[in-house]
A = this chain, B = another copy of it.
């Protein structure tokens, strides 16, 4: 495995790799956990050449303290990447990515303004800008992203489509600890008692999934139950819990096909995000209230 910093070197190495076959790319901010490794391993299985970028992008942080204290462990990352079969680990400096005078930024409108975008103004502008730059430099055939950052995936999908990147995005399932906590580089920040309380998020997601599998389609009811479950944990402070259209991320009231439940919750001082995709079972009987009175109908699950 080569570890390099300069854009020119990356471009040179990839130019010759491109002739041999498919290039897989995993953009990361380092501090690798099993979530990163699942992306890398999948890229390794599917591609001739695997490039991983490790760049803690200052543009996507709102909170300077969060940026400055973001977990870093390059030697450990290098070992993990090398043993997962990475060909190229690209660790650029901030000046390499944003040289003096850099002033071009990418925004993705409403999809990037809701939820995490509202909680962290400028966050997705930073994400879209750096990802577009990384994609232009690496020019991968396939890019591997984790579903844990659901809105981030949507922002990147949208940008790839709108700016005509010829890239296949592979979105892989969230990797979890045994107790259900979604893996995240920021999990190292947990105080012990907070860590023990953190699986309440996963419990709430599982509860929502069970409700839907039983035919529940009233999003407010699903959200309310998830909220009260999380509130039963005194260390938890809810930022948002919402049921959304999985494409537009607009909130929905009635589940008719596929939706995503997004949540952001603070446990102690650590802010966590997580999500679950919810699909109303095909042919599941459900009750509809409203003007027509109660009637039993069949619902076609509208998976895309």
Contact = CB atoms under 8 A, between A and B. Distances in A.
B106 A105 contact: yes
Number of copies: 2
A55 B106 CA distance: 22
A270 interface: no
A78 B163 CA distance: 27
A133 interface: yes
Interface residues of A, number: 24
A158 interface: yes
Contacts of A159: 104
A165 interface: yes
Interface string A153-183: 0000011001111000000000000000000
A155 to B, nearest CB: 9
A132 B163 contact: yes
Contacts of A136: 163-165
B163 A104 contact: yes
A163 B111 CA distance: 22
B162 A133 contact: yes
Nearest to A107: B105
A163 B103 contact: no
A171 to B, nearest CB: 18
A102 B162 contact: yes
Contacts of A108: 103-105
A111 B248 CA distance: 32
Contact of A110 (B7, B103, B133, B163): B103
Interface string A67-81: 000000000000000
A21 interface: no
A104 B106 CA distance: 7
A133 B163 contact: yes
A109 interface: yes
A111 B103 contact: yes
A40 interface: no
Interface in A128-159: 128, 132-133, 136-137, 158-159
A232 to B, nearest CB: 38
Contacts of A133: 162-164
A238 to B, nearest CB: 28
Nearest to A110: B103
Interface string A18-49: 00000000000000000000000000000000
Interface string A90-117: 0000000000011111111111000000
A107 B104 contact: yes
Given A103-B109, A104-B128, A133-B162, 11 more contacts: A101-B158, A101-B248, A102-B162, A103-B110, A103-B162, A106-B106, A106-B107, A107-B107, A133-B163, A133-B164, A136-B165
